[in-house]
Amino acid sequence: MNSENLFSGKSVVITRSSEQSEPLFSELTNLGVKVISLPLITIADPIDGGRELLDKVRNLKKYNWVIVTSSNGAHRLIKTMQKVDDLKKTKIGVIGKATAEVFENFEISVDLIPERTFSEGFLEAFPSPSKEENRILLVQAEKARPTIYEGLTKLGWQVEKVVAYRNIDTKIEKTLLSVAADADAIVFTASSAINRYYEIIGVPKPPDAICIGPITAETARNLGWRVFEAREQSVKDLVEAVKQWAGS
């Protein structure tokens, strides 16, 4: 069955922020999917306007590792840097290929991309500290899971956290919610988006969810969705998961 027949009459909701949804929107539209954009969150500056991040960046040399947990964090970090070359002197660890690509686009090499692209997988792959290397700057969202921070601290690392951005709720029109609920499937890239959507709708509609990562997938299953999981945090793998769903 070709892709045109596979996606004939299919409608899929994308819940990513407007800043992030365009690549996935274009890929699915080109496959013949009717795409409904329902951004549940907006990416915003930290409460302090990014002052703490700027301060950490100015003192980047004191850290042995910079760990960034999302592409949003990577974009914010690089935007704050006056000299991107400074990042080339520090080891960088990331979660997900999409996060790594942000650095690679600026010709900054990434030292650690775990095969298992979520917090627990990162901790499994990360080395123990030494006397010479024991300081980490952890760049993340305001309401990030504590898993990485707690795990690295238990390993013996001295970890300093910094908020690079916030996820804030987007105001949603009721008519658009109704259209979304009547779609065939919905894409979730974070548990926070699932929880927000469920709070508004109250039921797992549409019944099928395409999710990034095991944590997001588990959240959706626990609330009653039939889940199709993307293997990696990338547009390519999300599209593959949508194809798997459409052929099921």
Is 12 within the bounds of a domain?
yes
Q: Which of 167, 187, 215 is the last residue of a domain?
A: 167
Is 181 within the bounds of a domain?
yes
Q: Which of 125, 141, 167 is the last residue of a domain?
A: 167
51-85 pLDDT, tens digit each: 999 999 999 999 999 999 988 999 999 999 866 56
Q: Based on the domain organization, do 182 and 111 belong to the same domain?
A: no
What pLDDT is recorded for position 222?
A: 96
**What is the distance in angstroms between the CA of the first residue and the CA of the last residue of the chain?**
12
Q: Based on the domain organization, do 123 and 139 belong to the same domain?
A: yes
Q: Which of 167, 194, 225 is the last residue of a domain?
A: 167
Q: Quote the domain boundaries for residue 154.
A: 51-167
- At 4, the pLDDT band (50, 70, 90 cuts) reads low
What pLDDT is recorded for position 83?
A: 65
Share of the chain above pLDDT 90, in %: 60
- At 1, the pLDDT band (50, 70, 90 cuts) reads very low
Q: Based on the domain organization, do 145 and 174 belong to the same domain?
A: no
10-57 pLDDT, tens digit each: 999 999 877 778 888 999 999 899 999 999 988 899 999 999 999 999
**Has residue 2 got a pLDDT over 80?**
no
Is 45 within the bounds of a domain?
no
* H helix or E strand, kind and range, residue 161: strand 158-169
**Has residue 202 got a pLDDT over 70?**
yes
141-187 pLDDT, tens digit each: 998 889 999 999 999 999 999 999 998 888 888 899 999 999 999 99
What pLDDT is recorded for position 225?
A: 97
Q: Based on the domain organization, do 57 and 144 belong to the same domain?
A: yes
Q: Based on the domain organization, do 152 and 88 belong to the same domain?
A: yes
Report the alpha-carbon distance of residue 78 to residue 69 in Å, rounded.
14
Arithmetic mean of pLDDT, 212-238: 90
Is 46 within the bounds of a domain?
no
Query: In terms of pLDDT, which residue wins out, 181 or 232?
Result: 181
Which pairing describes strands 41-44 and 158-169: parallel, antiparallel, or unpaired? antiparallel
Q: Based on the domain organization, do 60 and 112 belong to the same domain?
A: yes
* Cα dihedral sign, 88-94-98-99: negative
**Has residue 86 got a pLDDT over 80?**
no
Q: Which two tokens stand for residue 59?
A: 């003192």
Q: Based on the domain organization, do 178 and 124 belong to the same domain?
A: no
The pTM of the full predicted model, rounded to 2 decimals, is 0.81
Q: Based on the domain organization, do 232 and 176 belong to the same domain?
A: yes
Is 85 within the bounds of a domain?
yes
Q: Based on the domain organization, do 185 and 219 belong to the same domain?
A: yes
Residues linked to residue 210 through DSSP beta bridges, in sequence order: 187, 228
* H helix or E strand, kind and range, residue 92: strand 91-94
What pLDDT is recorded for position 96?
A: 84
What pLDDT is recorded for position 218?
A: 93
- At 3, the pLDDT band (50, 70, 90 cuts) reads low
Q: Is 247 helix (H, G, I), strand (E, B) or coil?
A: coil
Q: Based on the domain organization, do 103 and 159 belong to the same domain?
A: yes
Arithmetic mean of pLDDT, 3-7: 69
Q: For the chain, how many structural domains are there in total?
A: 2
DSSP string, 221-243: HHTT-EEEEESSSSHHHHHHHHH
Chain centroid to CA 169: 16
Q: Based on the domain organization, do 67 and 27 belong to the same domain?
A: no
Q: Based on the domain organization, do 68 and 144 belong to the same domain?
A: yes
**Has residue 207 got a pLDDT over 90?**
yes
Of 188, 150, 183, 167, give the one whose Cα is nearest residue 36.
Answer: 183
Is 31 within the bounds of a domain?
yes
Q: Which residues of 20-44 are buried (b: 16+ CB within 10 A; e: fewer)?
A: bbeebbebbeebbbebbebbbbebe
Domain containing residue 204: CATH number = 3.40.50.10090
Average pLDDT, the chain: 90
